[in-house]
Amino acid sequence: MSKVISHSLFTDFDINLFKAGKHFRLYEKLGAHLMELNGVQGVYFAVWAPTAHSVSVVGDFNFWTEGEHELFVRWDSSGIWEGFIPNIQKGATYKYKILSNNGGLVTEKADPFAFYCEKPPHTASVVWDLTHKWDDSKWMKTRKEHNALDKPYSVYEVHLGSWKRGEDNRFLSYLELAEDLVSYVKEMGFTHVEFMPVMEYPYDPSWGYQLVGYFAPTSRFGNPQDFMVLVDKLHQAGIGVILDWVPSHFPDDAHGLGFFDGSNLYEHPDRRKGYHPDWKSLVFNYGRNEVRSFLISNALFWLQHYHIDGLRVDAVASMLYLDYSRNDGEWEANIFGGNENLDTISFLKEFNEVVYSNYEGVQTIAEESTSFPMVSRPTSVGGLGFGMKWMMGWMHDTLKYFQKETVYRKYHQNDLTFSMTYAFTENFMLPLSHDEVVYGKKSIADRMPGDEWQKFANLRLLYGYMFTHPGGNLLFMGGEFGQMAEWNFQQSLDWHLLQYPVHNGVKELIKDLNKLYKSEPSLYEKQFSHEGFEWIDYSDHQNAVLSFIRKGNDPKDDLIIVCNFTQIVRKNYRIGVSKKGKLKEIFNSDLEKYHGSNVLNTNTIKIESSPYGGRDYSVELVLPPLSVTVFKIL
Return phi, psi of residue 526, to 5°: -125, 40
Quick one: pLDDT at residue 67?
87
Average pLDDT over residues 310-321: 96
Alpha helices per DSSP H over 223-334 = 224-236, 271-274, 289-305, 316-320
Q: Is residue 111 part of a domain?
A: yes
Asked whether the predicted pLDDT for residue 251 surpasses 70, the reply is: yes
User: What sign for the dihedral angle of Cα 244, 248, 250, 251?
Assistant: negative
Number of H helices, E strands in the chain: 13, 29
Contact partners, residue 231, CB within 8 Å, separation at least 6: 136, 241, 306, 307, 308
CB of 402 closer than 8 Å to CB of 450: no
Asked whether the predicted pLDDT for residue 202 surpasses 90, the reply is: yes
Asked whether the predicted pLDDT for residue 85 surpasses 80, the reply is: yes
CA distances from 503 to 26, 99, 496, 511, 617 (A): 48, 58, 10, 13, 40
Number of domains in the chain: 2
DSSP structure string for 496-532? GGGGSHHHHHHHHHHHHHHHHHHH-GGGTTTTTSGGG
Average pLDDT over residues 80-100: 97
Q: Is residue 553 part of a domain?
A: yes
The residue from 126, 156, 188 where one domain ends is 126
Measured N-to-C along each axis, helices 224-236 and 137-147 cross at an angle, to the nearest 10 degrees, of 60
Q: Is residue 204 part of a domain?
A: no
**111 catalytic per annotation:** no
Q: Which residue, 447, 467, 469, is CA-closest to 458?
A: 447
Contact partners, residue 35, CB within 8 Å, separation at least 6: 41, 42, 43, 44, 84
Q: Which residue, 384, 416, 383, 385, is CA-closest to 401?
A: 416
CA distances from 603 to 332, 582, 584, 598, 616 (A): 66, 10, 7, 14, 23
Q: Which residue has the higher pLDDT, 358 or 1?
A: 358
Average pLDDT over residues 457-468: 98
Q: Is 142 left (phi over 0), alpha (psi -120 to 50) or beta?
A: alpha
The residue from 97, 126, 155 where one domain ends is 126
Q: Residue 559 sits in a domain of what CATH number?
A: 2.60.40.1180
Asked whether the predicted pLDDT for residue 1 surpasses 90, the reply is: no
Quick one: pLDDT at residue 102?
79
Q: Give the residues across from 534 on adjacent strands.
A: 549
Q: Is residue 322 part of a domain?
A: no
Q: Which residue, 121, 114, 5, is CA-closest to 59?
A: 114
Average pLDDT over residues 322-333: 93
Q: Is residue 545 part of a domain?
A: yes
Q: What is the dihedral of CA 192, 197, 198, 199, to 10 degrees?
A: 140
CB of 180 closer than 8 Å to CB of 510: no
3-state secondary structure of 431: strand
* CA–CA dist 47, 30 (Å, integer): 6
Q: Is residue 548 part of a domain?
A: yes
Quick one: pLDDT at residue 274?
94
Quick one: pLDDT at residue 334?
95
* CA–CA dist 370, 113 (Å, integer): 33
* CA–CA dist 165, 107 (Å, integer): 37
CB of 286 closer than 8 Å to CB of 340: no
Asked whether the predicted pLDDT for residue 268 surpasses 70, the reply is: yes
Average pLDDT over residues 491-505: 98
Q: Residue 43 sits in a domain of what CATH number?
A: 2.60.40.10
**540 catalytic per annotation:** no
2-6, 139-143, 250-254, 458-462: the lowest-pLDDT one: 2-6
Q: Which of 111, 157, 200, 314 is catalytic?
A: 314
Q: What is the mean pLDDT of the chain?
A: 96
Q: Which of 82, 194, 267, 367 is catalytic?
A: 367
CB of 500 closer than 8 Å to CB of 180: no
Quick one: pLDDT at residue 66?
87
Quick one: pLDDT at residue 106?
85
3-state secondary structure of 232: helix
Q: Which residue, 239, 241, 260, is CA-closest to 251?
A: 260
Give 138-156 pLDDT, tens digit per residue: 999 999 999 999 999 999 9
Q: Is residue 514 part of a domain?
A: no
Average pLDDT over residues 304-308: 98
Q: Is residue 43 part of a domain?
A: yes
The residue from 126, 155, 186 where one domain ends is 126
pLDDT bracket for residue 2 (50, 70, 90): low
Q: Which domain holds residue 72?
A: 12-126
3-state secondary structure of 75: coil
